[in-house]
Amino acid sequence: QQQVKQSPQSLIVQKGGISIINCAYENTAFDYFPWYQQFPGKGPALLIAIRPDVSEKKEGRFTISFNKSAKQFSLHIMDSQPGDSATYFCAASVGGSGYSTLTFGKGTMLLVSP
Amino acid sequence: DTAVSQTPKYLVTQMGNDKSIKCEQNLGHDTMYWYKQDSKKFLKIMFSYNNKELIINETVPNRFSPKSPDKAHLNLHINSLELGDSAVYFCASSYSAGGSTDTQYFGPGTRLTVL
């Protein structure tokens, strides 16, 4: 059972456009929602994250929108740049004693055309 | 300075062999993880260690055995390699205050190819 569903699988956006990636989760025990960015040949790196008691978080050109009642969240990349071309993973986290468990979506491959 | 490092970066081997992947972090974190990323880029947790103690063990074949000699190292040994083990394996670490907000820092990955 896939606990975090992510769409679209791939996305092509023109430079300067807005990239939007959507995720939905099922497990209400998740209480932290990070997004990771992965460039080819590299490991994923935290991009931005949000707690479920906040509806929106913005960091530079990246914004997370969160809808707790719908159990959905999305990443918006404003003024998309070719350097943003990467695979983006949404994730949902639950904590335990001394650890956190990340459940990832299947990823969205973003290509920003010049 | 490398935060989370893995060796080797590439590993090509024959079916049935035994191989190890090493991971080291210099962030002072006390929790380390192994993830498997398949050919479709799906990332899945395999194991987690906190202060050298195994705390997460997902449904992974027992051919996979993690070992943590100290807080800064977490190695992954794989016995009797199978074609389906081909993937990229990522090590990660976090400073665990014991909450879901602990940021996990990933290594560069080890691409394992089983022939």
Its CATH architecture, for the domain B4-95, is Sandwich (2.60)
Among B35, B100, B106, the strongest candidate for a mutation testing the A interface, having the largest count of A CBs within 10 A, is B100
CA A3 to chain centre: 14
Contacts of B59 in chain A (CB under 8 A): none
User: Do the beta carbons of residue B74 and residue B48 sit within 8 Å?
Assistant: no
Domain housing A38: 4-113
Contacts of A95 in chain B (CB under 8 A): 98-102
Is a pLDDT exceeding 60 seen at residue A1? no
CATH no. for residue A23? 2.60.40.10
Q: Report residue B8: phi and psi, to 5°.
A: -85, 170
Give me the number of domains chain A comprises: 1
Q: Under 8 Å CB-to-CB from A78, ≥6 apart: which residues?
A: A18, A61, A62, A63
Between residues B43 and B54, the one the model is more confident about: B43
Domain ranges (residues) in chain B: 4-95
Which pLDDT tens digit goes with each residue over B50-67? 888 888 888 789 999 999
Instruction: Report pLDDT for A2.
Output: 65
Which pLDDT tens digit goes with each residue over A67-94? 999 999 999 999 999 999 999 999 999 8
